[in-house]
Chain A
């Protein structure tokens, strides 16, 4: 693991030496996120989001475990205990709002983390396993978030559970038995609520475990960087601590400020008023929508309105929605260009931004009612989403002529500093431009 020039852990205090001999845990931490992990020196702020996602997971686990202390997983009392947490439990409102909005922030930073990976080609060899494990985390997050949303047992909880488990009912022959099995009944009920609570408690720890694998797999080749050029020597890296602990610390501060703004000033902004009505199996809310982070996928699900080749529209929608994520598992082999960073791929860069706009459009349509023109827009945007990965990306990789790459990370950093140095020198009218101090 890591580069040969990594700092070695040498405990000075006898107690630390004693611990290191018996259980080298401090050594592991030092080598993973301490001075013993050399990281490319040119990482920009997009590299903050991995650590921020970890921070969001910690916030979710802490607030979630506390909320579980005040929650009753039974359809008779669930809604009431959540309201009780909000009104009667000391600081209960803070825990619940932090947990609900924390989920949104978790998805925000994870989407930005994925965005970073897509733009800078972080999924490419030798980091395919990092990408695959990241997608596993993403799927686990979606399952966890879905089940967590059912727990307050409001109208959206109930009908969300019904619609989402109904997706499995679209599978031919075995669909309905699977749906009944998932719910433990013919409709969401007490059995469903209990199992969702149990799994909602378990899965975050499974996520934490896969996060460890994700970081482990990352530390074998080491972090990628904005040039996409591999580390060539000690001059290309700086130790994770204190350089990136400081940079991530700044990012964490910004993250917490934004989180606090939402949490304290608009805690229900991203929620649905219908979920403050207790679940009623006999009355459907007029407009069922999932949480915002599912909208792009929900739009793809609803984009199919006509049967194709005797396959029912509903099944097509379900298949398309799952494929939209499963396809990403093949991304490292769909994009065959040896150049990683989008900064050196002019054609890729253009289509990348079109894809981002496309996903935002899908997200907008997923949150809108299922009527025209949103259905038609979803169909076009959904088709483009698949075309980007399955047709456009492989073609770009074949025909694109990338820009010349810098010789090394250091070279790209020094070039940038030289240009900046010259610009700084201009207003000073200096006869001899300041030599860049990095020389």
Chain B
């Protein structure tokens, strides 16, 4: 056997030990492998959000009816979205805090649009385990920092919806949004 292979490699591979048949074998299997991987891509990608889900990926919100001190609860990407019209007192309270002392340091400016500091737009999804915090509805418990309070594990958010107490690691997420007019925003 050895002698036959020896002759083979001599004859076909020019002496470097790799036979032509080995090359064809590896090339064929690699080609099939690349094909198999290519087939897996759609099999995995089909699980990503479909076009109709993505079509609902942005939400318009009318702000005209929200009075200072009020908040509304709507949905963005089928998750709760809080839009709060801050009072001057709430803004002052948020500004009073030294941002660098916070768990997730951010100032109110960084969390709102320039010149429209009174409009606080955040996801209504606690950054701990995804519960919906209380505080957007009239008369709901807003926690000891006057913003939002998550009843699941007791996370308290302040008037800028920054995490102040409890197990949540981050501030309530501010989604990407822009003002389409003075009284309307487009989220997403």
Please determine whether chains A and B interact with each other in the same assembly: yes
Binding site for B on A (CB under 8 A): 159, 162-163, 166, 180-182, 184-187, 189, 191, 195, 281-284, 286-288, 302, 305, 307, 312-314, 370-371
Q: Could you tell me if B53 and A159 are in contact, using CB atoms closer than 8 angstroms?
A: no
Q: Mark B124-161, 1 if CB is under 8 A from A, else 0.
A: 10001111100000000000000000011110000000
In the complex, which residues of chain B have a beta carbon less than 8 angstroms from the beta carbon of A195?
Answer: 47
Q: Interface size of B by Cβ–Cβ distance < 8 Å?
A: 25
Q: Could you tell me if A166 and B79 are in contact, using CB atoms closer than 8 angstroms?
A: no
Q: Could you tell me if B49 and A185 are in contact, using CB atoms closer than 8 angstroms?
A: yes
Q: Could you tell me if A186 and B50 are in contact, using CB atoms closer than 8 angstroms?
A: no
Q: Which of A281, A286, A288 contacts B80 (CB 8 A)?
A: A281
* Segment of B22-30, B61-69, B70-78, B84-92 engaged in the interface with chain A: B70-78
In the complex, which residues of chain B have a beta carbon less than 8 angstroms from the beta carbon of A286?
Answer: 151-152
Q: Could you tell me if A159 and B79 are in contact, using CB atoms closer than 8 angstroms?
A: no
Residue of B nearest to A370 (CB): B153
Cβ of B167 within 8 Å of any chain A Cβ, yes or no, is yes
Q: Which of A163, A180, A185, A281 contacts B129 (CB 8 A)?
A: A163
Residue of B nearest to A186 (CB): B77
Main secondary structure of the interface of B (DSSP, over half): loop
In the complex, which residues of chain A have a beta carbon less than 8 angstroms from the beta carbon of B73?
Answer: 282
Cβ of B100 within 8 Å of any chain A Cβ, yes or no, is no
CB distance from B50 to the nearest CB of A (A): 6
In the complex, which residues of chain A have a beta carbon less than 8 angstroms from the beta carbon of B79?
Answer: 186-187, 281
In the complex, which residues of chain A have a beta carbon less than 8 angstroms from the beta carbon of B132?
Answer: 282-284
3 closest Cβ pairs, A-B complex: A186-B77, A284-B131, A370-B153
The answer to whether A313 and B77 touch (CB under 8 A), given A184-B50, A288-B152, is no
In the complex, which residues of chain A have a beta carbon less than 8 angstroms from the beta carbon of B169?
Answer: 307, 312-314
Inter-chain CA distance A287–B152, complex, in Å, is 6
Residue of A nearest to B127 (CB): A314
Q: Could you tell me if B80 and A314 are in contact, using CB atoms closer than 8 angstroms?
A: no
Q: Could you tell me if A187 and B78 are in contact, using CB atoms closer than 8 angstroms?
A: yes
Q: Could you tell me if A189 and B47 are in contact, using CB atoms closer than 8 angstroms?
A: no
Cβ of B181 within 8 Å of any chain A Cβ, yes or no, is no
Q: Could you tell me if A186 and B78 are in contact, using CB atoms closer than 8 angstroms?
A: yes
CB distance from B14 to the nearest CB of A (A): 46
Q: Could you tell me if B167 and A189 are in contact, using CB atoms closer than 8 angstroms?
A: no
CB distance from A151 to the nearest CB of B (A): 18
In the complex, which residues of chain B have a beta carbon less than 8 angstroms from the beta carbon of A305?
Answer: 167
Q: Could you tell me if B152 and A191 are in contact, using CB atoms closer than 8 angstroms?
A: no
In the complex, which residues of chain B have a beta carbon less than 8 angstroms from the beta carbon of A191?
Answer: 47, 49-50, 53
CB distance from B140 to the nearest CB of A (A): 11
Q: Which of B44, B77, B128, B154 contacts A185 (CB 8 A)?
A: B77
In the complex, which residues of chain B have a beta carbon less than 8 angstroms from the beta carbon of A283?
Answer: 132
In addition to A166-B130, A284-B131, 5 A-B residue pairs with Cβ atoms within 8 Å of each other are: A159-B131, A185-B53, A185-B78, A187-B78, A286-B151
